A and B are shown apart, each in its own frame.
Chain A
């Protein structure tokens, strides 16, 4: 009964490959996010979707493409992986964007290592 679940948890892949990370939330939230946490632990938002609609798209290479088939799912596809893409990717959700008091709930993270 995990609230925000993402798969895979660990992913080791070679440069140039294409990979996807899947995320699902069962909290009934309207808004979902992808965050990237680098080796220095900085947490940076990448994308945000509200009811399947893209509302935030930070300065992220277009090799990264999110897809939200419905409001409970937000997947992240990465093309032509580079060494610098190695990081922990967190999926998250919140009830209605970040209006006051709306807590963001994070998934367990996906550890991506590009070799």
Chain B
């Protein structure tokens, strides 16, 4: 089955800096990679996703890149703001078992 690793586990940046979170996956057949943001005490919510036929996708200050050969994908947040502080989860679709496998999460702290 799919295995997803996520780094770093914690990330502290100053407001206005960029933040990058990286994930690797094991199943070369995986074709869908969403990212979720979970604020303290709240539910995880989808912020961006990418399919395997695309190398990069942007939505305002966030972007995701996918390298299928290396089996890794990354979340990039530019011009970070304090409200970006949250736990971010990457996920990959396990094609064999029809489920999303989540990474272990990255706690992002943006200091004003």
Contact = CB atoms under 8 A, between A and B. Distances in A.
Nearest to A45: B99
Interface string A1-44: 00000000000000000000000000000000100000011111
B44 A43 contact: yes
Given A98-B93, A100-B51, A103-B34, A109 B43 contact: yes
A48 B99 contact: yes
A107 interface: yes
A104 interface: yes
A66 interface: no
Contacts, number: 57
Q: How large is the interface on B (under 10, 10 to 19, 20 to 34, 35 or more residues)?
A: 20 to 34
Nearest to A4: B43
Contacts of A90: 43-44
A104 B100 contact: yes
Given A100-B32, A104-B46, A106-B44, A55 B51 contact: no
A5 B46 CA distance: 17
Interface residues of A, number: 24
The DSSP consensus for interface residues of chain A is loop
Nearest to B30: A100
Given A41-B87, A42-B105, A43-B102, A56 B97 contact: yes
Contact of A98 (B42, B89, B100): B100
A79 B14 CA distance: 47
Contacts of B51: 100-101
Given A55-B98, A90-B43, A98-B32, 20 more contacts: A33-B99, A40-B104, A41-B38, A41-B105, A41-B107, A43-B44, A43-B89, A43-B102, A43-B105, A48-B98, A56-B97, A56-B99, A98-B93, A98-B100, A100-B51, A100-B93, A101-B49, A101-B51, A103-B34, A106-B45
- Nearest 5 pairs between A and B by C-beta? A106-B43, A43-B102, A100-B32, A97-B98, A41-B105
Interface of B: 31-32, 34, 38, 42-46, 49, 51, 87, 89, 93-94, 97-102, 104-105, 107
